[in-house]
């Protein structure tokens, strides 16, 4: 693999590495893509405070999350479509994005056991609830037997959004016809995604012995409700701007949720985070882990596991520089004072 030297190079090369409909699937959002754009726009309205007068030779990126000691405060997002981006892309991603002991998150679609075997950092499993209670119990048993260190249930997909950009690309690729819907695994039914209630979350909590959190929390009341169900962490996400359109940016949801829950549970946030500087903003506003999605897809498309590992290295290098120039020498010490809202 020819190594690029910036994240921008991986992004620029991405369209030439995948089919147009895969490009649309990965990069697109739902409907008018307002949520997608807001994720980025809101991050761009936040400035990092430049500070001076400190010895910044040593920058400590380590953090603790759910009892796991991690080398850096970021992780790959669970994503669909990885096998369309690179052969066995979901396994390659688990292998590459965790190099150095980074936290990885394995998406619902890929093999359960194999990804645990190839990962070199802790892995969280991202579950879609595609079945009834017996289905969920069997699935959760399999995930926990494989040794996943945490589980997250995605809850922002009560119905499938209308992804106009993706539908249009598929329509074009299909010569003016939409291809048949993807086959659903035997015994699974997306109808169950529409039936997740707090009572159901409590039922899952009983079955899950490892740390458990919901992915797709945007409102403080939902964060509080999930803590009342005994959950261990909050994952703030709007599905990368791919589900509810016209929603808030995740970086704007973050301080509201953090204020509501205080120190009771750690927070993961994703949605539009692209660079080391974005990670600093997420940490300053209350997240312990910033999850990164599309940039890892750019890396995967370029070189499979090696490409994903290269993205981790670039994010880490950027984060070190941004922290040093802000006189933030430790991830654990970054607070709200590290950033400011600006209107330009
Ligand atoms: C899957 O979760 C997707 O957003 O396509």
Give residue-wise pLDDT tens across range 117-131: 999 999 999 999 999
Instruction: Write down the pLDDT at residue 142.
Output: 98
**Residue partners of 326: CB distance under 8 A and separation at least 6:** 48, 49, 50, 51, 280, 338
Atom 3, ligand 1: which residue's CA is nearest? Answer: 80
Task: Compute the distance from residue 320 Cα to the ligand 1 centre, in Å.
Answer: 31
Class level of CATH domain 7-341: alpha beta
pLDDT, tens digit (0-9, with 9 covering 90-100), for 266-319: 999 999 999 999 999 999 999 999 999 999 999 999 999 999 999 999 999 999
Q: Residue 186: pLDDT above 80?
A: no
pLDDT level of residue 98 (50, 70, 90 thresholds) = very high
CA atoms within 13 A of residue 68's CA, in its CB half-sphere: 24
Percent of the chain with pLDDT over 90: 95
pLDDT level of residue 105 (50, 70, 90 thresholds) = very high
pLDDT, tens digit (0-9, with 9 covering 90-100), for 209-248: 999 999 999 999 999 999 999 999 999 999 999 999 999 9
C-beta neighbour count of 266 within 10 angstroms: 20
Mean pLDDT of the chain: 97
CA atoms within 13 A of residue 36's CA, in its CB half-sphere: 17
Atom 5, ligand 1: which residue's CA is nearest? Answer: 80
pLDDT, tens digit (0-9, with 9 covering 90-100), for 21-48: 999 999 999 999 999 999 999 999 999 9
Question: The pTM is what?
Answer: 0.98
Tokens of 289: 């882990």
Q: Residue 183: pLDDT above 70?
A: no
Instruction: Write down the pLDDT at residue 3.
Output: 84
Q: Give ligand 1 pocket residues (Cβ under 6 A).
A: 80, 239, 242
Q: Looking at the annotation, which residues are catalytic?
A: 239
Task: Compute the distance from residue 78 Cα to the ligand 1 centre, in Å.
Answer: 9
Of 7, 5, 4, nearest to 292 by C-alpha is: 7
Averaged over 55-66, what is the pLDDT?
98
Task: Compute the distance from residue 49 Cα to the ligand 1 centre, in Å.
Answer: 35
Instruction: Write down the pLDDT at residue 182.
Output: 73
Q: Residue 89: pLDDT above 90?
A: yes
Q: Residue 185: pLDDT above 80?
A: no
Atom 1, ligand 1: which residue's CA is nearest? Answer: 80
The minimum-distance atom of ligand 1 relative to the CA of 154 is: 2
Contacts of residues 91-94 at CB distance under 8 Å and 24 or more positions apart, as own/partner, are 91/115, 91/118, 92/300, 92/304, 92/305, 92/308, 93/296, 93/300, 93/305, 93/308, 94/118, 94/119, 94/123
The minimum-distance atom of ligand 1 relative to the CA of 81 is: 5
Number of H helices, E strands in the chain: 13, 12
The minimum-distance atom of ligand 1 relative to the CA of 239 is: 4
Instruction: Write down the pLDDT at residue 209.
Output: 98
The minimum-distance atom of ligand 1 relative to the CA of 157 is: 2
Ordered by start, the domain boundaries in the chain are 7-341
Task: Compute the distance from residue 328 Cα to the ligand 1 centre, in Å.
Answer: 35
Task: Compute the distance from residue 190 Cα to the ligand 1 centre, in Å.
Answer: 13
94 in helix, strand or coil? helix
Averaged over 252-259, what is the pLDDT?
98
Atom 4, ligand 1: which residue's CA is nearest? Answer: 242
Atom 2, ligand 1: which residue's CA is nearest? Answer: 80
Q: Residue 332: pLDDT above 80?
A: yes
Q: Residue 151: pLDDT above 70?
A: yes
The minimum-distance atom of ligand 1 relative to the CA of 78 is: 2
Task: Compute the distance from residue 323 Cα to the ligand 1 centre, in Å.
Answer: 32
């Amino acid at each position: 693999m020819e190594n690029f030297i910036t994240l921008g190079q991986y992004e620029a090369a991405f369209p030439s590495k995948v089919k147009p409909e895969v490009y649309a699937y990965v990069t697109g959002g739902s409907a008018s893509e307002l949520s997608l754009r807001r994720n980025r726009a809101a991050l761009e309205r936040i400035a990092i405070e430049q500070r001076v007068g400190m010895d910044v030779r040593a920058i400590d990126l380590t953090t603790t999350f759910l009892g796991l000691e991690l080398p850096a405060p970021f992780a790959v997002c669970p994503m669909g479509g990885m096998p369309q981006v690179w052969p066995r892309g979901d396994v390659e991603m688990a292998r590459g994005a965790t190099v150095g002991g980074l936290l990885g998150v394995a998406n619902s679609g890929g093999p359960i056991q194999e990804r645990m075997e190839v990962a070199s950092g802790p892995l969280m499993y991202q579950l879609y609830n595609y079945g009834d209670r017996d289905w969920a119990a069997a699935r959760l048993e399999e995930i926990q037997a494989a040794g996943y260190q945490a589980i997250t249930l995605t809850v922002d997909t009560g119905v499938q959004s209308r992804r106009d950009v993706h539908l249009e690309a598929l329509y074009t690729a299909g010569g003016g016809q939409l291809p048949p819907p993807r086959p659903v695994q035997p015994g699974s039914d997306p109808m169950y995604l529409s039936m997740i209630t707090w009572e159901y979350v409590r039922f899952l909590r009983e079955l899950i012995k490892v740390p458990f959190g919901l992915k797709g929390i945007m409102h403080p009341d939902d964060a509080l409700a999930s803590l009342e169900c005994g959950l261990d962490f909050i994952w703030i996400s709007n599905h990368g701007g791919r589900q509810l359109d016209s929603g808030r940016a995740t970086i704007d949801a973050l301080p509201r949720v953090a204020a509501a829950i205080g120190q009771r549970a750690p927070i993961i946030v994703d949605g539009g985070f692209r660079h080391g500087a974005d990670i600093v903003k997420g940490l300053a506003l209350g997240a312990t882990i910033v999850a990164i999605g599309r940039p890892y897809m750019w890396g995967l498309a370029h070189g499979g596991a090696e490409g994903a590992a290269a993205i981790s290295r670039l994010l880490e290098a950027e984060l070190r520089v941004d922290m040093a120039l802000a006189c933030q020498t430790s991830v654990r010490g970054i607070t709200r004072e590290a950033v400011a809202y600006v209107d330009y």
